[in-house]
Each structure stands twice: as C-alpha cells, then as structure tokens.
Amino acid sequence: MVGEGIRRAASVACLAWLFALPGLAGCGSVTTAAREQFVSAFTCPEDRVTVTERSDLLAHDFKARPAPPPEIASDPGRLAVWSELEASSYASDDHRAGEIYEVRGCDTVAFFACHPAAPFRSWPQRSTVNASCTKLGPIQQPH
C-alpha cells in the first residue's frame, strides 16, 4: 500500500533524527497512537481523524471533583487546607497522566492522555508506534 510506504519512510526519517538528536523523543508517535486508538474505539476511517494537542487541559480536568464535607466547607481555614491538599493531588495526577490530546472524527470527539515511550529500544523489537494513550472521560466542571 502507498500509505504503508509513506509510514515506513516516516519511521526511517524519525529514526535518523533520533540518532542525530538523542533528546528528541516521539517524532509524532504520540499523535499516531492517539489516532490509532480512536480509529479502533470508534470504528472511524483514519483519514477522517484529526489529532490536536491540548496543552490548555490537564488530567484533573477529566476527574469528578468532590465537594468538601460540610464541616470543612463551613470553616475557611479548614477549607483552605483541604483545597491545597486537593490541588497537590491533582498536580501529581497531571504529571503522571501525560499530555492531553483531542481527537475528532466521524462526528465524535474524545480526549486521550498520552506518553511517548523511551526513544531507544532493541532494534529488532522496535514498534512503529512508540507511545501509549489512555482514553479520558468527559471534562468535569469544578464545584
């Protein structure tokens, strides 16, 4: 297939860049992983799918945020401590989740948290997609 030849050429070009610039990881493999997961999950042809990095979103934007218990909500000092602890937990989750990508196609929108894999693996075992993505739920509104 023509698409496979183009993909193979892109992989070779990516590999060349990886050896030239060791700090460069991914070469688009994160967007490829998000696209492939979307295609599989929503049975949507690949040529109808767009992937956009959403640096304005964080993983905690997709988690339901609990309201503070009434006894904490009614005490401004305790509420400040509770809010700080919640924010710290969110920051940790955001760091572990990876980058957020919005994927659209076939009248569907989904969000994925993606991580690039380590740029170097054993040569014969190298995968064409060096990333992993996790589908996220809908964006949650803060309380």
Residue 49 lies in a domain: yes
In 3-state terms, what secondary structure has residue 52?
strand
The mean pLDDT of 60-77, rounded to a whole number, is 87
Q: Rounded to two decimals, what is the model's pTM?
A: 0.62
Q: How far is CA 58 from CA 90, 91, 102, in A?
A: 9, 9, 12
With respect to residue 93, please indicate whether it lies within any of the assigned structural domains. no
66 and 90 in contact (C-beta within 8 Å)? no
Return d(Cα 38, Cα 113) in angstroms, integer.
12
Number of domains in the chain: 1
User: Which pLDDT does position 133 carry in this prediction?
Assistant: 87
Q: Which domain holds residue 44?
A: 2-64+98-136
Q: Which residues contact 47 (CB under 8 A, 6 or more apart)?
A: none
Residue 74 in 3-state DSSP?
A: coil
User: Rounded to whole angstroms, how far apart are CA atoms 55 and 4?
Assistant: 30
Rounded distance between C-alpha atoms, residue 118 and residue 22, angstroms? 11
Q: pLDDT tens for residues 120-133?
A: 555 555 445 577 88
Q: Is the residue at 81 inside a domain?
A: no
Whether 50 maps to a domain, the answer reads yes
Average of per-residue pLDDT across 86-107: 81
Least-confidence region, from 35-39, 81-85, 114-118 = 114-118
Query: What is the percentage of the chain residues whose pLDDT exceeds 70?
Result: 64
| DSSP labels, 96-142 | HH-EEEEEEETTEEEEEEEEEPPS---GGG--S--EEEEEE-PPPPP
Residue 131, in any domain of the structure: yes
Does residue 112 sit within a domain? yes
